[in-house]
Structure 1
């Protein structure tokens, strides 16, 4: 069965979530572990690493984009870790990954929210990313 970019994004989300819990972990090693556990193959590893390293390397810029597009009563500190990671992945793809169309990045963020968050968060993520776009 072919692995989809959506599954790779889910893996990248899991890697970033794990890295938040263990700041000393090697991102490449965690990518490899998730890739092998979730998909049993290394073909997804390259794009997963692109997402993970991209989010980590551009986090300050991504967070700055997010802060300017959040409702005035929200701050990054107030967001759940799950929602923040989903937003960071989407903003990375929108701002730094030219291969991915903006609407696809938005839709994929909503799919991640469906898998890892709730309806309220999904609406919030949709609002933030729509505002950004």
Structure 2
């Protein structure tokens, strides 16, 4: 099974969302369910899927600390929709830790994930936050 990076990001989002609800779940078993729900046979887990999920989980506190300044003063991470927070964590992780993902790609992929898994208000919110990040990187 060969997945595009976009499809891998979708699977990573689904895994991170499930792990947010059940942090003690077995990652590999979850990956198998996401990649191959019909089959009993194990499939090879794409390296980038593991990189995204493991990286976001390992750097979660650091990523959250980086996201917080981009929220308005009246908002906290706890008030964000879980989908938006997970997508922002993924985008910030790719921007900071994945050298072969250009900034434009990380931002666009985050917006595409928001379109697929959230609503239009969330898309605008995620786009606004990431737009500020890009502007700050340019300065």
TM (norm. structure 2) is 0.87
Who wins on radius of gyration, i.e. which is larger?
2
Aligned to 1:45: 46
Query: After TM superposition, what 4+ stretches of structure 1 lie above 6 angstroms from structure 2?
Result: none
Aligned to 2:34: 34
Cα 1:29–1:2 shift into 2, 3 Å: closer
Matched ranges for 1:7-18 at <5 A: 7-18=7-18
Asked if 1:74 corresponds to 2:75, the answer is yes
Cα 1:42–1:101 shift into 2, 3 Å: farther
TM (norm. structure 1) is 0.90
User: Structure 1 unaligned runs (5+)?
Assistant: none
Q: Is the 8 A contact 1:32 1:45 kept in 2?
A: no
Aligned to 2:131: 130
| Cα deviation, residue 27, structure 1 | 1.8
Aligned to 1:94: 95
User: Structure 2 unaligned runs (5+)?
Assistant: 135-139
Aligned residues: 132
